[in-house]
Amino acid sequence: MDSSSLSLPSSFSRNWKHHVFLSFHGADVRKAFLSHILKEFRSKGIDPFIDNDIERSKSIGPELIEAIRGSRIAIVLLSRNYASSSWCLDELVEIMRGRDELGQIVITIFYDVDPTNVKKQTKEFGEVFKNTCAGKTEEVTRTWRHALAKVATIAGYDLSNWNNEATMIEKITSDISNKLNHSTPSCDFDGFVGIKGHFEKMKPLLCLESNEVRMIGIWGPSGIGKTTIARFLLDQLSHQFRLSTIVMNIKVSYPRPCHDEHSANVKLQKQLLSQLFNEKDIEIPHLGVVRERLKDKKVLVILDDVDQLRQLQAMANEPRWFGPGSRIIITTQNIRNLKGHGINHIYKVDFPSTHEAFQIFCMNAFGQKLPYAGFEELAWEITKLSGELPLGLRVMGSYLRRMSKEEWTRVLPTLMTRLNGEIESILMISYDALCDEDKDLFLYIACFFNYYNMEMMVEYFPDVRQGLDVTQGLHVLAEKSLISVDDSGTIYMHDLLAKLGREIVRKQFVSEPGLRKFLVDPRDICDVLTDDTGSRNVLGIDLQVFELEDELEISERAFDGMSNLQFLRFSDNFISHDKLCLPQGLNCLSRKLRLLHWIHFPMTCLPSKFATQFLVELNMQCSKLETLWEGIRPLRKLKRMNLSYSKNLIELPDLSTATNLQELFLYYCSSLVELPSTITHATNLERLDLIGCSSLRELPSFIGNVTNLMHLDLSGCSSLVELPSSIRDATCMRLLAVSECKRLVSIPQLPIFLGRLEAEKCESMETLDFSLHNPEISLNFASCFKLNKEARDLICQTSLIHGVAILPGEEVPACFTYRASGDSVTVKLNDIPLPTTLKFKACILLVYKGDDDEAGVGEMIEISSHIIEKHNGNIVTCRPDDNLLYPPITKHLYIFEVQAEEVTSSEFVVEFRVDSWEIVECGVFQVSNPFKLLLG
């Protein structure tokens, strides 16, 4: 197919006259089924066309053909006497023609008729059809036969599989409603000028008719519309792919420079797979997961705003990572990222034409592509002054929107004298239009809070004492197109706008940086901190320590004059941590600090005059701290504390006033022996991470009092006799991790709604003194070889509900009704009739069979399964495929749920498959009423 012939799918671009066309034999269904489904259609707002009012003759006429081809969905209601009507058969031929030519959706309903008899025209249905064919030409008969055979193969609804018609009708109507919603053309991009032109130009690069895996780059300067084009492609093409997603703002989530490249790459892969599979807590143990999961799947992946080659290597290293026909689209400002990755299909986004630029400006200034009467000359003049960058046109149009003609005339001379065709000048006009409070907020974001979560930023400004109403101010900035806030609440300010804000601050005191509100330039920060020139004007300091060329020695009195300092952030990495030092210690820090983020803090204790009453976040990772401070300090505003990798930390301070603390991170604080008993006052604590706290011997009995605690990770706490019994009272807890707690012997009663228990490599674990109440809990007891029989039985019986379990074992437990050696087991059920969906709990005994003894350790494995029916050899795919981390080489049991639909035989074989692993035994157990089984 010539690429120039590619266009949007006809089913998306057509204007359909009717939602649904119904083809049926009236005598069979009119009084009951038809009347009920039409009533349900009306309740869902579905507009059906039925041919009641058309006079029937020997063949269908133009009016009916027009109705069929003008309906988005055709429903063929196949009943016993459907084939007795040549009218119905002619309708069916036209419907199948519309399916092939127009992309119409066809839905079949088998009403007291077997699909096989329809397909082959056999038994009673075949006799009826034979009578109708009497006297007809061979060509007509052949056309009818072909249409019947084809429609019978379309997956539909078989009344014999349903307990009652009402339930079936509700399901049909719901499915049709969803199909209509998904097939409705999107209007999200109607206001984006030139977007379809970009799509037309990209068709030869996309080459959608090709089955090759193709990577395509979208290249252009910041603000030109690359992301908008990518979003449009996703909107228009996603229906042609099995899986699709757009990963936004990749450069923001990838640290620069990156001191832990592996972790950063794993994070990118996790984000990609989480979005593709719509699975929030997906596990990514190594960098081969994307390749293994996607190599056989046709996907559309858009990687937005890539600025480093390593990001592409992590997420889309090779075409063979993806299934045939996949398309990987990358947007970037740097063409070197594309060329360096071997991408030759590159679309350069050109600036809009003069006419398109005018339309872009008008859409943002007037909400339409043409200006209001009387504004024509002014609109053209300002469009020319705004330049051709779409961002500048949008910002300028938003700034002037709803202004009177007089206001436009008044501002035009200013634009003419200050712009000089530079986008910075255009953006400056928008800044000048803000009130003083919104200007301040703009500068806070540009210099300190770009890419921050909106809710977190509001926390840093708990009052409006200084006239700064953050929520309202953010709303104003978003309305004026100066920021955007995504669905997750993340604030985005365009790079040019952020540079504008920093330049505004710099120009306020060019030669005296210590008098500025914000310090962000490394050279200026060095001057201020070594010369003690900081003033009470300074509100925030943001230093990327790794950008320093030489070592920075901070004066002990460096912060004495900065009495209004609110935000101090010294970001660092593992390479440059010796560049910042305090040879004479530190006299004090501002009493108004709200955020203290100082990586590799070089002192063993914070200054004695350190004040905490305004502190919202304390981040002192990789510090040399042994303790923070002495005595009780006011911590009512504190929400987050991160002291991870502070290997010398011996103790935490008194936390009795930290009543609003939500997150406490203490990763690898290997000298920490205990938590303070006052942590019981942190009743709003939601997350506590103590991974690798190898000296921690016990937990205080505070756990039950921290009623909001959802996440407790004690992995690697190798010195930890036991968990406090009060843990059962933490009713909000969803995750408990005790992996590699090598001295832990038992686990007490757990919270009632716990959803996941990680207890891998607990080599001393023997007993489980709990019962479980959550039917969907997942249990990981891999490499817990000392578990006694009672504990193993508890795990197996619990996992017979909905959850997943991993534990060492030598054979499939006896509680699995059907068991066999190898990878398949025969099942013979007594259920008559069979349920619509068969649900089983499955257990397989796995051992690695690869050549390299270590190759399989820690890899994510995919367990696939299917059912082979005995009487006809029909194969039914089971779902879902389970992906489980398998840590050791030794034999382990995997227990998980299997579901299958449309199984027609009560005797069948269930087969399992796991690449590179041997299935020693397998077993299944039918789950009929899991809640009854769970409760007793």
Cβ proximity of 738 and 715 under 8 Å: yes
Cβ proximity of 565 and 590 under 8 Å: yes
C-alpha torsion sign, points 268, 274, 280, 282: negative
d(CA 861, CA 915): 8
For 925, residues 6+ apart whose C-beta sits below 8 A from its C-beta are 800, 815, 816, 817, 818, 840, 841, 842, 843
The CA radius of gyration of the chain, in Å to the nearest whole number, is 34
C-alpha torsion sign, points 781, 783, 784, 786: positive
The tokens for 853 are 């003894």
Tell me which of 40, 66, 91, 459 is the catalytic residue: 91
d(CA 501, CA 445): 8
The tokens for 590 are 């501002």
Cβ proximity of 917 and 847 under 8 Å: yes
Q: Is 503 a catalytic residue?
A: no
User: Which of helix, strand or coil describes residue 704?
Assistant: helix
Cβ proximity of 924 and 840 under 8 Å: yes
C-alpha dihedral over 79, 84, 86, 92, to 10 degrees? 20
Calculate the CA 551 to chain-centre distance.
41
Which helix (H) or strand (E) segment is 37 a member of? helix 35-43
Calculate the CA 447 to chain-centre distance.
28
d(CA 292, CA 324): 14
d(CA 286, CA 262): 9
* Residues paired with residue 567 on neighbouring β-strands, in sequence order: 540, 595
The one-letter amino acid at 7: S
d(CA 669, CA 651): 10
Place of tokens 């970037």: 332
d(CA 847, CA 516): 65
C-alpha torsion sign, points 689, 692, 695, 701: positive
Q: How far is CA 343 from CA 221, 317, 328, in A?
A: 18, 11, 10
Place of tokens 């990327």: 544
d(CA 817, CA 158): 31
For 15, residues 6+ apart whose C-beta sits below 8 A from its C-beta are none
- What burial class does residue 635 get, using C-beta atoms within 10 Å of its C-beta: 0-12 exposed, 13-18 middle, 19+ buried? buried
Nearest to 831 by CA among 757, 908, 758: 908
3-state secondary structure 314-370: HHCCCHHHCCCCCEEEEEECCHHHHHHCCCCEEEECCCCCHHHHHHHHHHHHHCCCC
d(CA 669, CA 685): 19
d(CA 525, CA 466): 26
d(CA 93, CA 86): 10
Longest CA–CA span in the chain (Å) reads 109
For 786, residues 6+ apart whose C-beta sits below 8 A from its C-beta are 763, 764, 765, 766
For 62, residues 6+ apart whose C-beta sits below 8 A from its C-beta are none
d(CA 357, CA 384): 9
- Residues classed as catalytic: 91
